[in-house]
Amino acid sequence: MAARVNYICSCFFHRNIYLQKYKYHVHYYDEQKFIEDYSETFLRWNCTDEDLASILREVKSEVERRKNRGKEHVKRCEMVQKLYQRLDPPLYTLDESYFHSDFLRITKYCRDELSPTMEGLLQMISKEEASRVYSFPVFTDEFCRRFLDELDHFERSDLPKGRPNTMNNTGILLAELGFDDHFMNRFREHYLQPLSALLYPEWTGSSGLDSHRSHIVTYDATGPTDRTDVGLSTHFDNAEVSLSVSLGKEYSDGELYFGEMKGVVVSNPRLYPYYHKIGRGVIHRGQHMHGAMDITDGTRYNIIVWMRSSSVRNKLCPRCDQSPTLIPFEGYGDGFTKQLM
């Protein structure tokens, strides 16, 4: 069987570039167009010539980083595989003992029941206040503790660490740590796909959720503010369906919040909070706008799983909302597939 070719949409190099200082997303194609497109925004920010020069350096640097993302990802994977001494090797192979018993019952119903229904599923999971947002226990406390120990062990190493995206200063890409082959792939295919297909059939599509990207985000109120994150601005995910599970540790505040779906404008917008509990997951549509309020004390770690459906995104790229212009990409792609003629 031929290896799957990874693709990205060409918009990846130009769109949704996050300016940390201003907490604002921009698009960049060339310098002149960029200055013209955002001239009023720069005036509103009272940008000096020095500020504008700094913004341009940041944006151009991010464009270059994206161009090299695939190659750098492959290099980091090879280096970690060769040099990293795992603290808890069995943890890298998924075992049902890691799961809360309620999660096993929920996913067994979705996977093995002859005719599972939404009504039956809703008797086993919690419907949150935001539209089509649900929560349920996922991992045991013991698994969360072991996973955090492994993350701490890796963070203390001198090995390079790929960060999740431009919005996060910290975090870990789980594929680079080695969790995809025997853990995350099975987690998605055997447990999350049947659950998501019942909750969001229009977002799983005919292909199902056939790829993913998983990472750790860290919110730390104890570290230096220029190198750690305490919250996350409103955004959408590059995913059809997203899952977030809190691993701990001790922290205060920092609730997740949900608004409307991307592109939906309402006259009286409202935010709906979700309060994390260790081991419990919250699942939602990737295009559902959301963010994280600042934690005020301690540190919180979350596993984030962005699940992609090629049959859905091959029709409409979730980043640019257009038919994707596909480009082969080294390393991991963004869940697109291309039909060979």
Q: Determine, yes or no, domain membership for 279.
A: yes
Q: Determine, yes or no, domain membership for 319.
A: no
Q: Determine, yes or no, domain membership for 15.
A: no
Check which CATH number belongs to the domain holding 196 and give it.
Answer: 2.60.120.620
Task: Provide the domain limits for residue 123.
Answer: 68-308
Mean pLDDT computed over every residue of the chain: 91
> With pLDDT > 90 as the criterion, what percentage of the chain qualifies?
77
pTM of the entire structure? Answer: 0.92
What distance in Å separates the CA atoms of residue 216 and residue 212, rounded to the nearest whole number? 14
User: What mean pLDDT is predicted for residues 306-330?
Assistant: 95
Quick: pLDDT tens for 278-296: 999 999 999 999 998 888 8
* Domains of the chain: total: 1
Residue 36 has what pLDDT? 96
The residue with greater pLDDT, 162 or 337, is 337
Cα→Cα distances 176→47, 77, 82, 181, 218, Å: 38, 5, 12, 11, 17
Quick: pLDDT tens for 17-48: 999 889 899 999 999 999 999 999 999 999 99
Q: Determine, yes or no, domain membership for 188.
A: yes
DSSP string for 135-178:
EEE-B-HHHHHHHHHHHHHHHTSSS----S-TT-SS-EEHHHHT
Residue 340 has what pLDDT? 46
Residue 269 has what pLDDT? 86
Cβ pair 271, 257 in contact under 8 A? yes
Q: What is the dihedral of CA 186, 192, 194, 199, to 10 degrees?
A: -170
Choose among 243, 272, 255: nearest CA to 107.
Answer: 243
The residue with greater pLDDT, 133 or 224, is 133
Residue 1 has what pLDDT? 45
Q: Determine, yes or no, domain membership for 43.
A: no
pLDDT surpassing 50 at residue 115: yes
Quick: pLDDT tens for 157-209: 999 988 777 666 678 999 999 999 999 999 999 999 999 999 999 999 999 99
Q: Determine, yes or no, domain membership for 36.
A: no
Q: Determine, yes or no, domain membership for 128.
A: yes
Q: Determine, yes or no, domain membership for 231.
A: yes
Q: Do you know the residue count of the chain?
A: 341
